Amino acid sequence: MARQSGIIKLKGTIGDITFYKSKDGYLARQKGGVDKERFHTDPKFQRTRENAAEFARAGKASKALCTAIRPVLNKTQDSRMISRLVKSMMQVIKADQVSNRGLRNVLDGELVLLQGFDFNGNARLSATVYAPYTPTIGRATGLLEVNVASFVPDSQIVAPGGTTHFRLISAGVEVDFENETFALAQSSSAEIAFDNTVSGAVSLSNDIGVVDSTKPLFLVFGIEFLQQVNGTFYALNNGAYNALSLVLVDTGV
């Protein structure tokens, strides 16, 4: 891969060189690789085929999780979130101790390795919310909750300039990775003023409506920053500073 220089930037293919634009600028790379038939049949590519199969599985599982929590994810993710999540999901798959290489999967892996994943890499929850909170998953009841103890916003919340208020948000979800279905419940606090007034305890309860689930359960918790103008609340800087983290995972195993 090479970086294009000069005044005129190219996009397209000339001979064996492909010119394209990415988030890292205008780049160029040489076409290469093997033909499809050889890739699928040549024993030399057995390890590559196994890696590709597991990578595809990680991508599918990542998409299923993101789709499940999409309502709270829209304003709390960075541009590289998907690639970071797939990388973490690959670690989950590689932790599978029962399946053969190439057949390893997330259900036989260690989904708890996702716990602590920040969907916005530019605003980690642990560096944004210092108010004490307790996440719980009640598999028998279908209730996934985050209970936040009383706190003082301006000393226990790291807010960007211009913040006048914020909301605490949460979502609980059951994900069926095999069938790519889910059950979601979400909740949020009222708008809380960003000042030195002691805030009361906040309870965020998410009832997914599934009792005694046998599927993996995920609980996310985060914060949205707001600015109040003439009585109306606006998302601050399109959510660039919002934080959302996967705070608890229950695999059901």
**pLDDT at residue 237, rounded to an integer:** 82
Alpha-carbon span 223 to 163, nearest angstrom: 12
Alpha-carbon span 183 to 144, nearest angstrom: 12
Count of CB atoms within 10 A of residue 161's CB?
Answer: 8
> Is the predicted pLDDT of residue 140 greater than 80, yes or no?
yes
**pLDDT at residue 28, rounded to an integer:** 67
> Is the predicted pLDDT of residue 117 greater than 80, yes or no?
yes
**pLDDT at residue 47, rounded to an integer:** 78
Lowest pLDDT segment from 31-35, 147-151, 179-183, 218-222: 31-35
pLDDT mean across residues, the chain: 88
Rg (CA), the chain: 22
> Is the predicted pLDDT of residue 145 greater than 50, yes or no?
yes
Burial class (CB in 10 A: 0-12, 13-18, 19+), 136: middle
The tokens of 72 are what? 């709270």
| Closest residue by Cα to residue 192 from 217, 164, 170 | 164
Count of CB atoms within 10 A of residue 197's CB?
Answer: 10
Q: Is 50 or 160 the better-scoring residue by pLDDT?
A: 160
Q: What is the pTM of this model?
A: 0.83
3-class state of residue 60 by DSSP: helix
**pLDDT at residue 4, rounded to an integer:** 47
**pLDDT at residue 48, rounded to an integer:** 79
The tokens of 225 are what? 């920053």
3-class SS shares of the chain: helix, strand, coil, % to 5:
25, 35, 40
- pLDDT interval class at 69 (50, 70, 90): very high
For 167-204, write each residue's pLDDT tens digit: 999 999 999 999 999 999 999 999 999 999 999 999 99
Mean pLDDT of 25-30: 66
The tokens of 40 are what? 């699928």
Alpha-carbon span 208 to 182, nearest angstrom: 9
How far, rounded to the nearest angstrom, does the alpha carbon of residue 10 sit from its chain's CA centroid? 34
- pLDDT interval class at 21 (50, 70, 90): confident
Q: Is 7 or 41 the better-scoring residue by pLDDT?
A: 41
Q: What is the DSSP letter of 201?
A: P
Q: What is the DSSP letter of 101?
A: T
Alpha-carbon span 224 to 238, nearest angstrom: 10
Q: What is the DSSP letter of 106?
A: S
> Is the predicted pLDDT of residue 50 greater than 60, yes or no?
yes
